[in-house]
Chains A and B, each alone.
Chain A
Amino acid sequence: MDLSYTQEQQEFRKEVREFLAENLPSRISEKVRLGKRLVKSDTQEWSAMLNARGWLAANWPKQYGGAEWDAVQRQIFEEETCLAHAPRLVPFGLTMLAPVLLAFGTEEQRQRFLPRILSGADWWCQGYSEPGAGSDLAALKTTAVPDGDHYVVNGQKTWTTLGQHANWIFCLVRTSADVKKQSGISFLLIDMETPGVTVRPIVLIDGQAEVNEVFFDNVRVPVENLVGEQDKGWTYAKYLLTHERTSIAGVGFSDAALATLKHVAAHTMAGGSPLDRNPHFAARMAQVEIDLMAMRTTNLRVVSAAAKGQAPGAESSMLKIKGTILRQELTSLLRRAAGPDAMPYLPEFLEGGDNTDPFGPEHAPSAAPTYFNMRKLSIFGGANEIQRTIIAKAILEL
């Protein structure tokens, strides 16, 4: 074993760092640093910059405009971009749909959709969950009935993240009713501008409408928008979920949150001394850091072990559980660090208005909303309970 980075990897890190220093607009990174809310154009602007450099699609093959990085490069890139407070890339097209199209789509579909993901022409969202189908995803009821060279889609999706920005949605739909429930599902790409699609926002606990309900009322979808074979969608859906889970580990996000936490704790006075001198708080911070040091290696071990360009199997569930616990613990500590200043709810500040916040230090207004928002990490991408069941079955064979 050798834990040191190769010369090449060190140079890559330097290159990424320089790129960030030169390109990432501080107007955007300041928002990320302070936990403010990003608008659509922030994400688009940053994605376009990465695309111009050829760095937007880390895990795609070069032939489709990807960077084709290995696990270590991806981790380096994630660490550096997170520490520089770059916005999170919207994963739905880049790391969810694209791997599915690459593995199961037609060449025509790849040529049609992949360039538009890179260019930002399309913003994708994920239409898996329904009111009655969460953990039990295969219970989904949205139907797609063939009608000539179209499918007619009826039903409802929910919890659709950033659906308000999206113009395309990939959906799991039921195409056969009288079979085992996993067997009658298809993977369909739907243009959200088609008549009959309605998007309704859902306000969450942090006051933000980041998710939506999406309704389909006799929506006509051309058959060429079917991915793979009809009724085989469950296989593709699960393939996508393993990809989703690895990025959920979020080691880079934890690194950045830890750095912020340490800075805040060093500059917050509690009982006459800095908070990072408070033995209880310091112990909590140290505990998270120790876990995170190991987590970084766990992540690399698991991701490196997987075949090139492929996602790991049940081990990705482990990354998801441990990674999300750490990220949530960090938001909890940041909330505590803010003390009474965590109490005011200042939407104008969070929306990035230029009012100077009179209620305390700059990191305080987002502390509680972020803590609440990050409860989602252990719910989506397959709830942590479901991940434990996967590990119990697939790894422990219980």
Chain B
Amino acid sequence: MSSTTVKHPGLNLGHAHGEAHEASEELVFGFWVFMMSDLILFGLLFATYVTMLGGTAGGPGPSELFELKSAFIETTLLLVSSFTFGMASLALKYRTDRKVLVAWLIITLLLGLAFLAHELYDFHKMFSEGGVPSRSGFLSAFFALVPLHGLHVTGASIWLIALLGQIAVHGLDTPTKTGLMRLAILWHFLDVVWVGIFSLVYLGGTA
């Protein structure tokens, strides 16, 4: 990363982007700080989940409810979407044809939506097997932690759609570029949180 003075944590746009590179310093740093605050939120929900593992109250527990293969598919969807967002970031940074950028973004969005659909289907199945949050403390903790991640993905997807709209209306100007920079961080961050969920909740639960 030689030609770039580093303005903020993570991938930097570089001088070729002039104003957007300058503007990103404050915006992206601020977004990182927000992410870290959000991380505390998730951390505490993880902790709560661990302390509620024993609270099944005679209801179904992890091994009865979780399906590892299904969670694995979700993991894959999210991981691939992280990679495709990376490709979008590179397309943005190296000023590849805008169509390429938009294509990567749309692929990412579709993967995100597929993840959500799959997750909803999972929850639906859990519900039909009696795995509802009002059944036990354990299930409450599960349905606070995992859907909160899902809600974040939903929010990120809405933001992605909004940014596609901004690209259509305003082109790749400074606000859209810095928006994409921040969304990229959110997207990768959600993947990190999912690593925690997959490992602790799903792998740990069915082991």
Task: Tell me, yes or no, whether A binds B.
Answer: no
B-to-A contact residues, CB < 8 Å: none
